[in-house]
Chain A
Amino acid sequence: MRANASAGYKVGVGAASVALLFLAWELSSRSGLTSARFLPPPSAVAAAWWQMVTEQSLLFHAGVSTLRVWAAFLLAAGMAIPIGILMGSVRVIGAALEPIVDFVRYLPVPALVPLSIIWFGVGEETKIFLLWLGTFFQLVLLVSDDVRRVPFEYHEAAATLGSPSWRRLTDVSLPAMLPTLVDNLRISLGWCWTYLIIAEIVAADSGLGFVIWRARRFLKTPEVMAGVVTIGIIGLATDQLVRAAHRRRFRYLAP
């Protein structure tokens, strides 16, 4: 009950602070304190957003971007989880792969855009590759850390209860690391969006990054901002959904 009340309180304060920010923004733009050309008021952004939805198939572009993000994310996660677990639980594999992973991890994704275009052209492969590049190498290290951080006592307890070592992955490691793993996946899904926009700005004829970049060319600032806001809304909604699922699934952490 108290947890519910405090959750409601948090949502209320959050909504109030957002409303206040929008109000101040609207007022500053209308009063001429800031130039509407560069910082259009929220009302103009909302109008532009609605026009983009009805006339410029904004939702189609948002759908395309979301699909790209999820395709790359699932590919990266599908590879990072097993490889990360191997790196975290088999010492020699961890020692062998860590230097490579660390090297690639520090390469800024934008620096690899030209190379990616040379390799894959400007089609979907380039976007998926760039997103995968930006998330896989980060995620694989996070996963291997998650495995290593599982308290060794859990493994020892399982061993003295007769669990053979080959069952320890499903008996102990996976359930013990799952809450942090889901958190890390949620965070890396956010990175995917960052890299997606870079990829779509450079080489795309669809998607939110393309929409934003096209609007910029004609200095349609409200449309640029409407595109940005769309990404923010998708990100916020996804994040909250995953968080809610996390609380539900892992309610044993704070019953």
Chain B
Amino acid sequence: MSRLRFEQVAKTFHGGIEAVAPFDLAIDSGELIAFLGPSGCGKTTLMRMAGGLETLSGGQVLLDGEKLGGPDRRRGMVFQSYSSFPWLTVGENVAYGTRYRRDLDTQQKREQRDRYLELVGLTEFADAWPAALSGGMRQRVAIARTLAAGSQVLLMDEPFGALDAQRREALQLELLALQRQEPRTIVFVTHDVEEAAFLADRVIVFTRRPARVLAEVDVNARLGRERTLDTRDSPAFFALRNELLAFVRATAEEHAS
């Protein structure tokens, strides 16, 4: 059975602006799906509906067959900005992820905090304030915090969008490493074609608003599941990137004509 399932999910904002046309998608456990599309196309809205942060105008989102409502711990969010709490230290931020876990006692919560700090390589920064960290490290705090909350689904809204190219690549590699160690079901929203191709098992390309599926690309079939920096230099990667780029350009032209 698929883990996260979109069934005829649609969104129309007040005033009748249609943001998302009825959308269907089944995501398997441990799969990383990239939502690729032009800015403002509605892909973020779609992801936010999965997170319970936006109401649905139609359809439903199911987690393990159960219909989802408002936000809870099962679906963790990582935002592009304001992702960690500046008034808490790095360690306290990650610990906050465990605060509302009833399945853990105090000792286990502490272990979870330490474990995920370690996993994102921030153990020695546990007592630092987020403002003292680079943007990339702050995003790692946010990811560790969400993982510590025991989220089954990670919803990432252009999480590396504000980073420079090198930091973004480093974070992408770390996310892939995390997926190898503890696979999570991830929806990753981006408008960066290479990022989508490099990270995702499947890429969903959206049209301009209202978001409709323009194409669905099985990246594993093209690049395999294992991704390394070498993947980025392979002919298959270039071919895939160009193909995705062509889709994205098509949406732009469709809008212009």
Contacts and interface: CB of A to CB of B under 8 A. Distances in A.
B168 to A, nearest CB: 20
A135 to B, nearest CB: 26
Given A161-B97, A252-B86, 10 more contacts: A153-B83, A156-B71, A157-B79, A159-B53, A159-B72, A161-B145, A163-B99, A178-B87, A252-B87, A255-B128
A252 B129 contact: yes
Q: By DSSP majority rule, is chain B's interface helix, strand, loop, or mixed?
A: loop
Interface string B90-123: 0000001101110000000000000000000000
Q: Select the residue from B72, B87, B130 with max chain A CB neighbours within 10 A.
A: B87
Contacts of A255: 128-129, 131-132
A160 B85 contact: no
Interface in B109-161: 128-132, 142, 145-146, 149, 151, 155
Interface string A153-182: 110111111111000000110011010000
Contacts of A7: none
Contacts of A178: 87
B146 A161 contact: yes
A254 interface: yes
A123 interface: no
Interface residues of A, number: 22
Interface string B76-91: 1101011101111100
B167 interface: no
Using C-beta atoms within 8 Å of the partner chain, give the interface range for chain B.
35 or more
Contacts of B100: 161-164
Contacts of B85: 154, 157, 172, 175-176
Contact of B75 (A158, A160, A164, A172): A160
A160 B53 contact: yes
B82 A160 contact: no
Contact of A252 (B70, B79, B81, B131): B131
A156 B87 contact: no
A124 B98 CA distance: 51
Nearest to B101: A162
A159 B75 CA distance: 10
B94 to A, nearest CB: 10
A157 B53 contact: no
Given A252-B129, A255-B131, A160 B72 contact: yes
Q: Which 8 pairs across A and B sit closest by C-beta, in order of nearness?
A: A162-B100, A162-B73, A153-B82, A159-B71, A252-B129, A255-B132, A255-B129, A175-B87
Nearest to A253: B131
A151 B71 contact: no
Interface string B34-72: 000000000000000001110000000000000000111
7 contacts: A156-B79, A157-B85, A160-B51, A160-B75, A162-B99, A162-B101, A253-B131
B86 A160 contact: no
B102 to A, nearest CB: 9
Nearest to A159: B71
Contact of B149 (A151, A161, A176): A161
Contacts of B101: 162
A252 B97 CA distance: 20
Nearest to B150: A162
Contact of A156 (B77, B129, B151): B77
Interface string A188-214: 000000000000000000000000000
A160 B87 contact: no
Given A154-B82, A252-B86, A160 B151 contact: yes
B34 to A, nearest CB: 20
Nearest to B71: A159
Contacts of A162: 72-73, 99-101, 149
A161 B76 contact: yes
A164 B100 CA distance: 9
A153 B138 CA distance: 15
Contacts of B128: 255
B76 A160 contact: yes
Contacts of A252: 86-87, 89, 129-131
Nearest to B151: A160
A157 B86 contact: no
B54 to A, nearest CB: 10
Interface in A219-255: 251-255
Contacts of A156: 51, 53, 71, 77, 79
A126 B131 CA distance: 46
A153 B71 contact: no
